[in-house]
């Protein structure tokens, strides 16, 4: 895992001083080594976290004849197999690194080299003979890559703070992106939260040459057309469960490849338990696990974690996270995330990554992606019930199914299955046949945060419709998929790639120089799962049915059959001590600060502040709004008012 940066500057050679300033901003992503190279119109920079070929993987790396140059952030898990294939074709290698494999693959296959990769990556490759820059990002969007144009130059980097090392690049938050984030949890369509800065979408290539710049998708989630599944009985289901287990084992073994020790996160839920169990039973890797515990019983899963630790015999470390810990670390987390967030959940993950690093580990496996791939979220169950209710809206017993949703939530909107719940989940029924139907309750709830925007911002966003915006970017055949497939696709391309893998994943792990790997997001595994019938994923209202079947005999039944409880952390309550907001929150939410930034309406925020101070912010809406407002103002202070290029990178000990 690493940080990359670069400049394409036709007609001039990029200044090394600027490249060095850019890569200094990414020290936390790669504290082990640093490299800068510039020639002709291209400059590349790299900050290295050494994981594979510790001695020979230095970057930027060049082909033997010097015609190709490359920097790369991530891992190519099938690099061993690719190397053998290339050697059989006559290619000669100087190192054991996966980086050199990429150079030879491009020599052999051109742009289609990405079709051969099993990995998580952001790549920048310069083809000097063709004067051609190729940027590539993995299919799920695990590794970040941003770019911006300034004065005829193209700048790119793993994080926006590296782009802002160029003082000529404007630093402003994008108002449209704020509206999208305060609805869908992340900006849409390759937009970042900064004006003029784009995020290369997952599964895309960006190619710049003499003919201009082209953005092209090379991989995506796809599903069979609805009704194309033939009848499947118990025998076929059992065979599919066995195949799923073998595919999981194969993906896991690939992702355990490293020249450094590898650990795993253990939440107490099914997904991380699957990873830990497969490491124990199907690899030679010693099982070393890490988990979070909370002082609030509502969020704490320590009993489930400990039961699995004892079952597997893992060497385990649990980090107890308090509300005060979250408040203290929140500003630093926002500086790494580079985006507003609507939950504090990324902060404990950043603290846990620091614990992992202090224990001597650079790589950790997680269960991320299982819910999107195998239909695990309550949102999928909720959508199934809402579609069922819509067939007979007046049916009382159909409405009672709502009571089976969100059993883990103390203030669930479905509690009692009453009139409020039925009205809430009936909202948007007129959009029943549209692909975004499942997500409307979440988007509607989150978009209520707009009431705290300044009037000018509300006016600028007036008329924007998330349903239409999402559907405009769906593949042509998506309208013909099963409803669950549509729900999965949108979830994977909004919340997962835009928030979970970024704000709650890569950015907070790399704050401590730790690489997260996600076996459930193996591309071959995703393609296999997408071909499965919906009923093998969501059986009635039982989530991840086939995944649970595949783990029979490997997990305790209490874990294997446990209803999903999503990872959560305390929100607005973290920012108050003895009924008073912590100092930085009081300062940020002062009328003067709010007016100066111009994003939010001071009287509306004052009312929300008082509600949270009094402990009356019980629902999702108030908590999301409060955390979103505080994080937006922190981001403005850190990256707009005080550009990060002026900052000195913290030493690793301070980051951990």
Question: Per-residue confidence at 408, pLDDT binned at 50, 70, 90?
Answer: low
Q: What is the pLDDT of residue 50?
A: 87
Question: Per-residue confidence at 654, pLDDT binned at 50, 70, 90?
Answer: very low
Q: What is the pLDDT of residue 394?
A: 58
How far is C-alpha 9 from the geometric centre of its chain's CA atoms? 31
- State the catalytic residue, choosing from 2, 321, 516, 612: 2
Q: What is the pLDDT of residue 389?
A: 81
CB 93 within 8 A of CB 114: no
* pLDDT at residue 380 tops 50: yes
Q: What is the pLDDT of residue 47?
A: 96
Say how far apart CA 359 and CA 357 lie, in whole Å.
5
Say how far apart CA 201 and CA 433 lie, in whole Å.
27
Q: Is 2 a catalytic residue?
A: yes
* pLDDT at residue 423 tops 70: no
Which residues, 6+ apart, have CB-to-CB distance to 510 below 8 Å? 1, 3, 28, 29, 336
CB 187 within 8 A of CB 498: yes
Range 76-88 average pLDDT: 97
Q: What is the pLDDT of residue 368?
A: 97
Say how far apart CA 178 and CA 175 lie, in whole Å.
5
323-337 vs 620-635: helix crossing angle, rounded to 10: 50
The residue among 314, 326, 399 whose CA lies nearest residue 365 is 314
Question: Per-residue confidence at 362, pLDDT binned at 50, 70, 90?
Answer: very high
Q: What is the pLDDT of residue 34?
A: 94
* pLDDT at residue 398 tops 60: no
Say how far apart CA 41 and CA 10 lie, in whole Å.
5
HEC string for 50-109: CCCCCCCCCCCEECCCCCEEEEEEEEECCHHHHHHHHHHCCCCCCCCCHHHHHHHHHHHH
Highest mean pLDDT among 156-165, 304-313, 432-441: 156-165
> What is the per-residue pLDDT across 611-641, written as a single tens digit (0 to 9) for each?
999 988 767 899 999 999 999 999 999 999 9
Going from the N-terminus, what domains does the chain have, and what CATH number goes with each? Answer: 2-217 (3.60.20.10), 234-323+343-368+501-560 (3.40.50.620), 374-492 (no CATH), 572-655 (no CATH)
Question: Per-residue confidence at 395, pLDDT binned at 50, 70, 90?
Answer: low
Question: Per-residue confidence at 563, pLDDT binned at 50, 70, 90?
Answer: confident
Q: Which residue has the higher pLDDT, 70 or 401?
A: 70
Q: What is the pLDDT of residue 631?
A: 98
Q: What is the pLDDT of residue 404?
A: 61
* pLDDT at residue 338 tops 90: yes
Range 175-180 average pLDDT: 98
Which residues, 6+ apart, have CB-to-CB distance to 360 below 8 Å? 261
> What is the per-residue pLDDT across 10-43, written as a single tens digit (0 to 9) for each?
999 999 999 999 999 999 999 999 999 999 999 9
Q: What is the pLDDT of residue 647?
A: 40
Q: What is the pLDDT of residue 644?
A: 55
Range 261-283 average pLDDT: 95
CB 190 within 8 A of CB 200: yes
Q: What is the pLDDT of residue 651?
A: 39
Where are the alpha helices (H) located in 500-590, listed in sequence order?
507-510, 523-530, 545-550, 557-560, 583-588
Question: Per-residue confidence at 655, pLDDT binned at 50, 70, 90?
Answer: very low
Question: Per-residue confidence at 128, pLDDT binned at 50, 70, 90?
Answer: very high
Asked if the peptide bond before residue 60 counts as cis, ω within 30 degrees of 0, the response is yes
Q: What is the pLDDT of residue 433?
A: 87
The residue among 441, 469, 603, 473 whose CA lies nearest residue 176 is 469
Q: What is the pLDDT of residue 232?
A: 74
> What is the per-residue pLDDT across 201-242, written as a single tens digit (0 to 9) for each?
999 999 999 889 999 999 999 999 998 877 678 889 999 999
């Amino acid at each position: 895992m690493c940080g990359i940066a670069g400049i394409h500057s036709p007609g001039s050679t990029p200044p090394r001083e600027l490249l060095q300033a850019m890569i200094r901003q990414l020290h936390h992503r790669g504290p082990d080594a640093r490299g800068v190279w510039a020639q002709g119109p291209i400059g590349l920079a790299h900050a290295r976290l050494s994981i594979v070929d510790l001695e020979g993987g230095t970057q930027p790396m060049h082909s033997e004849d010097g015609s190709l140059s490359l920097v790369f952030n991530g891992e190519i898990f099938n690099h061993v197999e690719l190397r053998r294939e290339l050697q059989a074709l006559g290619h000669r290698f100087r190192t054991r690194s996966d980086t050199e494999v990429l150079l030879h693959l491009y020599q052999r296959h051109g742009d289609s080299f990405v079709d051969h990769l099993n990995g998580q990556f952001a790549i920048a490759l310069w083809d000097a003979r063709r004067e051609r820059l190729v940027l590539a990002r993995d299919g799920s969007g695990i590794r970040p890559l941003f770019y911006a144009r300034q004065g005829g130059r193209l700048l790119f980097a793993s994080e926006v703070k590296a782009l802002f090392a160029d003082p000529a690049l404007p630093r402003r938050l994008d108002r449209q992106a704020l509206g999208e984030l305060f609805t869908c949890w992340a900006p849409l369509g390759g937009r970042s939260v900064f004006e003029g800065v784009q995020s290369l979408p997952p599964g895309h290539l960006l190619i710049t040459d003499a003919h201009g710049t082209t953005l092209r998708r090379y991989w995506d989630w796809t599903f069979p057309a609805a009704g194309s599944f033939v009848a499947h009985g118990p025998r076929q289901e059992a065979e599919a469960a066995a195949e799923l287990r073998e595919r999981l084992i194969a993906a896991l073994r690939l992702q355990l490849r490293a020249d450094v020790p590898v650990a795993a996160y253990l939440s107490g839920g099914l997904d991380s338990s699957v990873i830990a169990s497969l490491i124990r039973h199907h690899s030679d890797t010693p099982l070393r696990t890490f988990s979070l515990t909370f002082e609030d019983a509502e969020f704490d899963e320590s009993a489930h974690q400990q039961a699995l630790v004892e079952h597997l015999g893992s060497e385990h470390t649990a980090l107890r996270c308090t509300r005060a810990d979250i408040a203290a670390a929140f500003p630093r987390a926002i500086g790494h995330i580079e985006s507003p967030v609507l939950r504090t959940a990324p902060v404990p993950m950043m603290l846990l990554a620091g614990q992992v690093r202090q224990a001597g580990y650079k790589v950790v496996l997680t269960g991320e992606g299982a819910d999107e791939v195998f239909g695990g979220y309550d949102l999928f169950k909720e959508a199934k019930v809402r579609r069922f209710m819509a067939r007979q809206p007046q049916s009382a017993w159909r409405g009672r199914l709502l009571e089976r949703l969100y059993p883990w939530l103390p203030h669930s909107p479905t509690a009692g299955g009453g009139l409020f719940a039925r009205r809430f989940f009936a909202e948007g029924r007129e959009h029943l046949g549209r692909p975004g139907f499942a997500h409307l309750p979440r988007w509607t709830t989150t978009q209520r945060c707009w009431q705290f925007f300044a009037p000018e911002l509300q006016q600028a966003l007036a008329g924007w419709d998330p349903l239409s915006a999402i559907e405009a970017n769906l593949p042509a055949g998506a309208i013909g998929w099963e409803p669950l497939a549509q729900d999965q696709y949108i979830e994977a391309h909004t919340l997962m790639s835009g928030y979970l893998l970024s704000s709650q994943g890569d950015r907070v792990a790399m704050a401590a120089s730790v690489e997260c790997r996600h076996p459930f997001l193996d591309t071959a595994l995703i393609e296999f799962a997408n071909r499965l019938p919906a009923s093998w994923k969501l059986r009635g209202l039982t989530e991840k049915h086939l995944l649970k079947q595949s783990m029979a005999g490997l997990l305790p039944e209490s874990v294997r059959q446990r209803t999903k409880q999503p990872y959560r952390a305390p929100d607005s309550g973290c920012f108050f001590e003895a009924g008073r907001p912590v100092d930085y929150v009081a300062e940020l939410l002062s009328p003067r600060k709010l007016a100066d930034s111009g994003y939010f309406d001071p009287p509306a925020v004052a009312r929300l502040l008082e509600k949270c101070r009094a402990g009356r912010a019980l629902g999702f809406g108030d908590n999301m709004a409060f955390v979103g407002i505080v994080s937006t103002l922190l981001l403005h202070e850190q990256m707009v008012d005080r550009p990060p290029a002026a900052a000195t990178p913290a030493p690793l000990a301070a980051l951990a």
